[in-house]
């Protein structure tokens, strides 16, 4: 199965997600200006870049919230840039949000059950009638949801109202919800924002566990320590364009990346001389 | 026994109108529970009501046929409306449905052949309170089942955040469409129930009055649980009569005051599963009084 050109990077080496020349403009602003990059199956891939680089826009383009003005997005070999969000979810891409977006009024378990909608295995009609088959499938789905909650360490909070949990806990529930549909690709949009380093590394380890069980993960991340420690490969963006690609260590050494994050060396020296 | 009959004589009509209003409140709840505020229930009621009345008047249709016909007509009208209007943003949807109510009245006034026009229509049949109770029971059972099935769960998701719901494979528009059709069916039945209760209907019957009582019912009772609209309709209908018995002067004020109080203190209505869960959570976190420690405050 392995492609011959597979380098030392983890995963099967097959490209799961491929963006080619993707352009998205909002009015006159080019949020994404011709981005091409790819994510290999079975890897944890970081999408990094300074604020306003267009990272979340890329996530929104992949999940069908926006459609690219031009360029194409391939998932598992199929063009997906014109599909609706619900169709994108059905082919195996799910996501979390930069600002946690759980449903108000639902318990932790209900959130995850909602995420399991695609694998419910029963029609809405049968579920309405309460047919024995529907009941059995419901029990099965419920068990699956509990299993996912166990995976993120939230099983003992299953019956609590999700909005009463702490921010970090809500993020974990959101990940469990995203896993509900048995995705192939999981997009995490800043999964550790607002977390301390201990909580953040819990998320990092969870990402590794999920990868090891066959999932591919694309995560937008600001925490460089986390990226170098947990991402296998990464894409660095700035002003909607590709800046660097490769292993995190190589990316961070790239002078363009340093400049995007820390400013120009010559500028720094000039400031030093002024002060 | 006589006492019971006296009570029924005094409050029987209140009970009947409470049941009729419960249909309208349930119809509103059906769409509210997927995040759509719509006044179109009034239109569905008018369609159901006039159709049922005409069927009985011209073809001597028995009630057990007239009600299903009203339901089908309401559901079909709702399907057409949903296809046309669901693409609108929520507040525009509300306004469009309100405009539709106004249009319906004008159309009804100018179609005397169908509606009796300004003179109205005499309805030569009456639904007994028992029949209404059975129908309402059936409607409530349907909403109970919806609430406890997949549809109820994903309805809440679509209501709270349709964009997020769609990234989980839930098609928000389709769910809203289904909810609209249910709203039309229940609204149509409600319209027929009103016709068979009043026994005289005119375009005025299906107008702002219904819009007011259906919104008030769902606001009072709550739109997050199937029991909410039923309780809301009962309270809203019974309140004026009850208050009148004690303080006759403030009947009209009382309605408004109670609505305001509920909106301020119970914005999600009397029946609110979320509030119940919060209360349960609070009980869990506050330490339970242990035996032998009662003396310590």
Q: What is the pLDDT of residues B94-153, one digit of tens each?
A: 899 999 999 998 999 998 888 888 888 888 889 999 999 999 999 999 999 999 999 999
- State how far the Cα of B159 lies from the Cα of B152, in Å rounded to an integer: 10
Residues B228, B270: contact at Cβ < 8 Å? Answer: yes
Tell me the domains of chain B and their CATH numbers.
13-285 (1.10.3470)
pLDDT at B240 over 60: yes
pLDDT at B78 over 90: yes
Q: What is the CA radius of gyration of chain A?
A: 20
Q: Do B278 and A164 touch (CB under 8 A)?
A: yes
Q: What is the pLDDT of residues A192-211, one digit of tens each?
A: 888 888 888 889 999 999 99
- Residue A275 — pLDDT band, cuts 50, 70, 90? low
Question: For A2-16, what is the mean pLDDT?
Answer: 55
Residue of A nearest to B166 (CA): A86
pLDDT at A2 over 50: no
Average pLDDT, chain A: 88
Q: Do A120 and B169 touch (CB under 8 A)?
A: no
- Hey, CA dihedral for A246, A251, A256, A257, is it positive or negative? positive
SS3 helix, strand, coil % of chain B, rounded to 5?
75, 0, 20
Beta strands A70-75; A233-238: pairing state = unpaired
Question: For A10-30, what is the mean pLDDT?
Answer: 84
Closest residue by Cα to residue B262 from B296, B211, B225, B228: B228
Q: In B151-178, which positions are buried (b, 16+ CB within 10 angstroms) versus exposed (e)?
A: bbbbbbbbbbbbebbbbbbbbbbebbbb
Q: What angle do CA B215, B217, B222 make, to 5 degrees?
A: 95
Question: For A56-81, what is the mean pLDDT?
Answer: 93
First to last CA, chain A: 60
Residue of B nearest to A187 (CA): B167
One CATH from 3.40.718.10, 3.40.50.300, 2.50.20.20, 3.30.565.10 for A1-92+183-275: 3.40.50.300
φ, ψ for residue A77, nearest 5 deg: 90, -5
- Winning range, highest mean pLDDT, from A246-255, B106-115, B181-190, B243-252: B181-190
- Residue B220 — pLDDT band, cuts 50, 70, 90? confident
Confidence at residue A137, expressed as pLDDT on a 0 to 100 scale: 95
Confidence at residue A115, expressed as pLDDT on a 0 to 100 scale: 96
**For chain B, percent of residues with pLDDT exceeding 90:** 54
Confidence at residue A9, expressed as pLDDT on a 0 to 100 scale: 46
- State how far the Cα of B243 lies from the Cα of B235, in Å rounded to an integer: 11
Which structure tokens are listed for A267? Answer: 């500028």
The helix (H) or strand (E) run that includes residue A128 is helix A124-129
- Residue A8 — pLDDT band, cuts 50, 70, 90? very low
Q: Answer whether 0.90 is exceeded by the pTM.
A: no
Question: For A60-87, what is the mean pLDDT?
Answer: 93
Q: Do A103 and B166 touch (CB under 8 A)?
A: no
- State how far the Cα of A63 lies from the Cα of A73, in Å rounded to an integer: 10
Q: Do A118 and B161 touch (CB under 8 A)?
A: no
Confidence at residue B236, expressed as pLDDT on a 0 to 100 scale: 86
Confidence at residue A207, expressed as pLDDT on a 0 to 100 scale: 93
Cβ-nearest to B274 among A64, A161, A180: A161
- Residue A135 — pLDDT band, cuts 50, 70, 90? very high
Q: What angle do CA B124, B129, B132 make, to 5 degrees?
A: 85
pLDDT at B44 over 90: yes
Edge to edge, the sheet with strand A233-238 lists: A93-95, A185-189, A216-220, A44-48, A233-238, A241-246
Residue of B nearest to A142 (CA): B150
Question: For B190-207, what is the mean pLDDT?
Answer: 92
Question: B281 contacts in A (CB within 8 Å)?
Answer: 160-161, 164
Helix axes B129-147, B2-32, angle to 10 degrees: 40
Q: What is the pLDDT of residues B275-297, one digit of tens each?
A: 888 887 777 665 544 444 443 33
- Residue A4 — pLDDT band, cuts 50, 70, 90? very low
What is the domain partition of chain A in residue ranges? 1-92+183-275, 101-181
Q: Do A63 and B167 touch (CB under 8 A)?
A: yes
Q: Do B167 and A84 touch (CB under 8 A)?
A: no
Residue A194 CB neighbours (<10 A): 12
The helix (H) or strand (E) run that includes residue B242 is helix B227-246
Q: What angle do CA B88, B93, B99 make, to 5 degrees?
A: 125
Partners of A194 in the beta sheet?
none
Q: What is the pLDDT of residues A217-253, one digit of tens each?
A: 999 988 888 888 899 999 999 888 898 899 988 888 8
Question: For A104-130, what is the mean pLDDT?
Answer: 94
The answer to whether A90 faces chain B, any CB pair under 8 Å, is yes
Helix axes B150-160, B129-147, angle to 10 degrees: 70
- Residue A42 — pLDDT band, cuts 50, 70, 90? very high
pLDDT at A265 over 70: no
| Region of A121 on the Ramachandran plot (φ > 0 left; ψ -120 to 50 alpha; else beta) | left
Question: For B181-202, what is the mean pLDDT?
Answer: 95
Residue B223 CB neighbours (<10 A): 25
Confidence at residue A273, expressed as pLDDT on a 0 to 100 scale: 67
Helix axes B172-198, B150-160, angle to 10 degrees: 110
Confidence at residue A127, expressed as pLDDT on a 0 to 100 scale: 94
Work out the minimum CA distance from A80 to partner chain B, whole angstroms. 14
The answer to whether A23 faces chain B, any CB pair under 8 Å, is no
Say whether A38 sits in a helix, a strand or coil: strand
- Residue B47 — pLDDT band, cuts 50, 70, 90? very high
Q: Do A124 and B149 touch (CB under 8 A)?
A: yes
DSSP one-letter string for A199-239: HHHHHHHHHHHHHHTT-EEEEE---HHHHHHH-SEEEEEET
Q: Which of B142, B150, B152 to mutate to test the interface with A (most CBs of A within 10 A)?
A: B150
- Winning range, highest mean pLDDT, from A247-251, B74-78, B264-268: B74-78
Question: For B252-270, what is the mean pLDDT?
Answer: 79
Residues A221, A200: contact at Cβ < 8 Å? Answer: no
The answer to whether A136 faces chain B, any CB pair under 8 Å, is no
- State how far the Cα of B242 lies from the Cα of A141, in Å rounded to an integer: 48
Confidence at residue B56, expressed as pLDDT on a 0 to 100 scale: 93
φ, ψ for residue B187, nearest 5 deg: -65, -40
Residues making up chain A, counted from first to last:
275
**For chain B, percent of residues with pLDDT exceeding 70:** 93
Question: For A11-27, what is the mean pLDDT?
Answer: 86
Which structure tokens are listed for A3? Answer: 């492609």
Three-state helix/strand/coil letters over B154-210 = HHHHHHHCHHHHHCCCCCHHHHHHHHHHHHHHHHHHHHHHHHHHHCEECCCCCCHHH
The helix (H) or strand (E) run that includes residue B141 is helix B129-147
Q: Do A117 and B170 touch (CB under 8 A)?
A: yes
Confidence at residue B170, expressed as pLDDT on a 0 to 100 scale: 95
């Amino acid at each position: 199965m392995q492609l011959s050109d597979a380098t030392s990077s983890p995963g099967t080496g097959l490209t799961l997600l491929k963006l080619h020349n993707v352009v998205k403009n909002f009015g006159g602003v080019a949020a994404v200006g011709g981005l091409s990059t790819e994510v290999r199956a079975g890897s944890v891939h970081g999408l990094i870049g300074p604020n306003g680089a267009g990272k979340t826009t890329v996530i929104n383009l992949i999940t069908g919230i926006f459609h690219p003005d031009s360029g194409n997005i391939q998932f598992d070999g199929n063009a997906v840039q014109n599909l609706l969000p619900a169709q994108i979810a059905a082919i195996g891409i799910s996501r979390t949000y930069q600002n946690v977006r759980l449903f108000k009024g639902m318990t932790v378990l209900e959130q995850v059950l909602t995420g399991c909608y695609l694998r419910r295995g029963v029609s809405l009609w049968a579920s309405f009638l309460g047919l024995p088959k529907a009941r059995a499938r419901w029990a099965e789905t419920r068990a699956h949801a509990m299993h996912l909650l166990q995976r993120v360490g939230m099983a003992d909070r299953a019956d609590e109202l999700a909005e009463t949990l702490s921010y970090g806990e809500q993020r974990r529930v959101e990940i469990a919800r995203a896993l509900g549909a048995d995705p192939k690709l999981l997009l995490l949009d800043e999964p550790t924002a607002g977390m301390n380093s201990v909580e953040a590394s819990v998320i990092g380890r969870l990402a590794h566990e999920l990868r090891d069980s066959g999932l591919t993960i694309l995560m937008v991340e600001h925490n460089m320590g986390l990226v170098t420690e947990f991402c296998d490969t990464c894409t660095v963006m700035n002003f909607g364009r590709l800046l660097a690609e490769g292993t995190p260590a190589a990316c961070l050494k790239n002078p363009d990346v340093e400049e995007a994050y820390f400013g120009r060396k010559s500028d720094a020296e000039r400031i030093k001389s002024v002060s | 026994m006589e006492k019971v009959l006296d009570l029924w004589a005094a409050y029987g009509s209140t009970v009947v109108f409470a049941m009729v209003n419960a249909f309208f409140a349930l119809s509103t709840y059906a769409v509210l529970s997927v995040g759509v505020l719509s006044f179109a229930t009034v239109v569905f009621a008018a369609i159901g009501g006039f159709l049922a009345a005409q069927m009985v008047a011209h073809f001597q249709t028995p009630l057990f046929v007239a009600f299903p016909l009203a339901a089908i007509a309401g559901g079909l009208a709702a399907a057409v409306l949903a296809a046309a209007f669901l693409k609108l943003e929520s507040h525009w949807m509300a306004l469009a449905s309100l405009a539709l109510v106004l249009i319906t009245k004008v159309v009804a006034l100018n179609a005397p052949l169908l509606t009796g026009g300004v003179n109205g229509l005499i309805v030569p049949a009456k639904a007994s309170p028992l029949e209404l109770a059975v129908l309402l029971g059936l409607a409530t059972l349907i909403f109970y089942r919806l609430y406890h099935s997949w549809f109820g769960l994903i309805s809440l998701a679509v209501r709270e955040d349709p964009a997020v719901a769609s990234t989980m494979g839930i098609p928000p528009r389709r769910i809203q469409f289904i909810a609209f059709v249910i709203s039309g069916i229940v609204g149509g039945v409600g319209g027929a129930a009103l016709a068979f209760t009043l026994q005289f209907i005119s375009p005025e019957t299906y107008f702002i009055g219904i819009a007011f009582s259906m919104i008030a019912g769902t606001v009072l009772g709550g739109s997050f649980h199937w029991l909410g609209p039923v309780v809301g309709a009962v309270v809203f209908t019974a309140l004026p009569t009850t208050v009148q018995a004690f303080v006759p002067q403030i009947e009209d004020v009382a309605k408004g005051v109670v609505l305001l109080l509920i909106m301020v203190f119970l914005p999600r209505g009397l029946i609110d599963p979320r509030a119940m869960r919060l209360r349960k959570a609070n009980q869990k976190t506050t330490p339970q009084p242990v035996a032998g420690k009662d003396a310590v405050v």
